[in-house]
Amino acid sequence: MKIDGLTYYQIGELAEIVGMSTRTIRYYEEIGLLNSVKRIEGGKRVYTDMDLQRLKFIQRLKHLGLTLAEMNELEDIYQIHRTTRKVLTRLLELLDNQVAKIEERSNDLNRLKEDILNYREKVWRKLNLDGDLQKGEG
């Protein structure tokens, strides 16, 4: 809908555009991640293009592994300093932490893969050894 030349979205429209549920959008409002929501006559919520961009940013951060608490921390930093520079500095730290966690998990998985392959080899040898012994007993 257009009001005074600006585009506004109802919650269902916004949910469809960003691919999330209306419940999730309301939850993000409740916890302070989406706090610029406007209301029109009758108290009906409407959302702006800024809200749309904000939800896409939240989706991106979620995809990158940030928690809602970390996203709230970024929002708090912005509310305190009113500058994206401090937010982006902290975001870089959080992303670096994510990379470190992924590297650690990757190393753990590689060790597990090696353990599995080694154990598989032992099982294979045992199976072949037992098979050879049974052939010789017959």
29 touches 35 (CB < 8 A): yes
For residues 1 and 79, give the distance between their C-alpha atoms in angstroms, rounded to a whole number. 29
pLDDT digits (tens, 9 = 90+) for 37-83: 777 777 778 899 989 999 999 999 999 999 999 999 998 998 888 88
**Domains parsed from the chain with CATH numbers:** 1-63 (1.10.1660.10)
8 touches 1 (CB < 8 A): yes
Cα torsion for 100, 104, 110, 112, to the nearest 10°?
-160
Summary mean pLDDT of the chain? 89
For residues 10 and 48, give the distance between their C-alpha atoms in angstroms, rounded to a whole number. 9
% pLDDT > 90, the chain = 65
